[in-house]
Structure 1
Amino acid sequence: METMRAEPVADGQPSLPSADVVSKVLSQNSSNTTFLKNAGIPTSSSKSQSAGEEALPVLHQQVEELKKKTEAAEKVLVRTQRQYVELKKQQDESNVILMKILNLNTPGTSSHP
């Protein structure tokens, strides 16, 4: 059994709080940390996972799902942009044809100089 000895504290250095010392000793010497939990003292047991560590797989899965949705949305956006360019081109061609028709049907104007 490892004993904890009080070590001299350098001037200006804070001493280790007694709750931390008790937590360290009890968690080293006992696998049962019920006393520490009941006393509201956090344990430094390496066996228990923190809430953040438990949430990591869930967050990773959510990030992967968002990546897939983003890729799908980008594909739709590229397709929509192509369709827009094609429609714009068709609209421009239609406008040119319409202007030619209007010029032919307008009296007093001649398409031949």
Structure 2
Amino acid sequence: MNIDTALLANALLDDAPTAKATTPATIDIGRWDDSTVQGLTDAIIAGADAAGVRLKGIRTDTWGFGKFGIQQDTSNSGKFHGVPVVMTMLADFDTAEFVLEPL
């Protein structure tokens, strides 16, 4: 599957500041490989300041957590480039919820 992670990240970042509140964006990552998930996250982190937001955290299921290539630092979370990634039963299967908030 070929995903333009930079284009997707820009779309998320362009929309988030207009909400003027915490904005969750849920993406189905079930068919994505690890590098695509990590690439999207890197692109969001890289563009967040310029968009006037920050990536507050990411919620995902256990399978999605593994795609970030990180170790757990608590029983249900770890950090990807300083951003908390939390495994939760509240996340739909095969999804990652990127939570953006205004600066």
Structure with greater Cα Rg: 1
Higher-strand-fraction structure? 2
Give the alignment's TM-score, normalised by structure 1: 0.21
TM-score by length of 2: 0.22
Higher helix share: 1
